[in-house]
Structure 1
Amino acid sequence: MRIYLACHPDSRLEIDWLFLFNKLPPDQWFSADYAYKTSGWLKVHTNIRKRQRILTQISEGYQSGEYDWSEYRSQILKRINMHVLKLHQHHGVEDEGFFPEFIRMYPQLQAGFEILGRDHVRLDALLDKLQVQNDTLARSEVEDKALAEQLHQTLVDATDLLSQHLTDEEDLVIPILGLRQG
């Protein structure tokens, strides 16, 4: 059997937590045998990454002068509200439902899920900060470049953490979903 390492070089997952990952490596996640079990979770993560990328691109567009203040606000305000709401909902479902279930199934993975849980705390704090900044932006009719820069930095920080978190989560969760019975 080929031994796989986690999908990304910055993985925080211990090698002995990847025993399921080695049974169902990423090149099989979308195969006919597993896609019906794994594709839903992966699609949610794809959408999270897409929304985050769009927000960052809009913010970069304003920073570079591609958008004026009015266009920037019209492009980003509703998108941030929706993104924050969906991420909070996603974390709630994982923290209250899926992660405890997965820990019961595989207690030896508890430390890995604790990492993901701590990520949720950090991400939720960033999302709350982003929402406060977005609320301020909604009330700010006059151009406020400092606010836009602060919001941009929060997006960058969230993007960095989300990238690592989602990949670690996939390396831990997708094999569980794919290999479980039923």
Structure 2
Amino acid sequence: MTDSADLDSRAGLPGELRFLLEQHPRDTWETHDNLGGLMQFWLSRHDGFRTLGETLSQALESFREGEIAAERFGGFLAPRLQHFLGELHHHHMIEDRHYFPVFMAAETRLVRGFEILEGDHELIHERIGTVVTRANELLGLLGDGDRDRIRRAADHYAADSDRLISGLMRHLEDEEDLIVPLVLERGEAELGVG
């Protein structure tokens, strides 16, 4: 991948992929006639990932600061992280298998953008595997009372979790910047997704 496509260093999609966004900037989306039910649902899913990602990050920070006891943190983290990662995996599968091919066929000038997003999905899913491993290590130590080992495990988990979530936030924004303007331009029905 080039620097402009690298999930961790890019500040948005390359300029040549933003031509529809320039015609349909974010502040016009909510009131646009072509913002149909599918796009509203899809954007709400993205907002849900943002919210839950922030919730998980805040809980981890509170645990690391000693504001949440180990047992309470473990009981909070495990089901929410499992839900977050499972939903994210399912969401990306639907995009990769169903929506991205439709959008690429509809606007070939955006194919490179969808290739970037598909690359993001691969990287995000590699990071999911790492986060699961680190979370299991941390959760397995919470009951043993060894504060140094727990702290080290929490530090490792935090680094990998932060990397996953920060990359995901960049990806969600770029994905919206590519897809929503295309849908607003053509309409869900014309694209065959409404």
TM-score for both structures, normalised by structure 2: 0.83
Q: CA deviation at 1:102?
A: 0.8
- Separation in 1 of the partners of 2:88 and 2:144? 29
Tell me the distance in 2 between the aligned counterparts of 1:138 and 1:59.
Answer: 12
Q: Which region of structure 1 is more displaced relative to structure 2, 138-147 or 68-77?
A: 138-147
The residue aligned with 2:36 is: 36
Which residue of the partner structure matches residue 55 of structure 1? 56
Two-structure CA RMSD over aligned residues (Å): 1.7
Cα drift, residue 134 of structure 1? 2.5
Aligned to 2:180: 174
Q: Displacement, 1:106?
A: 0.9
User: Given that residues 77 and 137 in structure 1 are in contact (C-alpha distance below 8 angstroms), is that contact kept between their aligned partners in structure 2?
Assistant: no
Give the Cα–Cα distance (whole angstroms) in 2 for the partners of residues 73 and 60 of structure 1.
13
Alignment of 1:1-182 (within 5 A): 10-11=11-12, 13-31=13-31, 33-37=33-37, 38-140=39-141, 141-143=143-145, 144-181=150-187, 182=189
In 2, distance between residues paired with 1:137 and 1:86? 22
Residue of structure 2 equivalent to 1:6 = none
Partner of 1:35, secondary structure, is coil
1:81 is displaced (CA, Å) by 0.6
Distance 2:183 2:128 in 1: 27
8 A Cα contact 2:35 2:183, kept in partner? no
> What is the total number of aligned residue pairs between the two structures?
173
TM-score (norm 1): 0.88
Taking only the aligned residue pairs, the percentage that are identical comes to: 27
Q: Which amino acid aligns with 2:71?
A: S
**Displacement, 1:163?**
1.6
The Cα shift of 1:34 comes to 3.3
2:84 & 2:31 partners in 1: Cα distance?
Answer: 30
Q: Deviations over 1:73-103 (max 9, x none)?
A: 0111111111110111111111111111111
Alpha-carbon distance in structure 2 between the residues aligned to 1:35 and 1:65 = 45
How far, CA to CA, are the matches of 1:106 and 1:28 in structure 2?
21
d(CA) in 1 for partners of 2:140, 2:173 = 36
Letter in 2 for 1:116: L
Determine if contact 1:28/1:34 at 8 Å carries over to the other structure: no
The structure 1 segments of at least 4 consecutive aligned residues displaced by more than 4 Å after TM superposition are: none
State the one-letter code of the partner of 2:81.
I
Partner of 2:4: none
Measure the CA separation in 2 of the matches of 1:74 and 1:58: 11
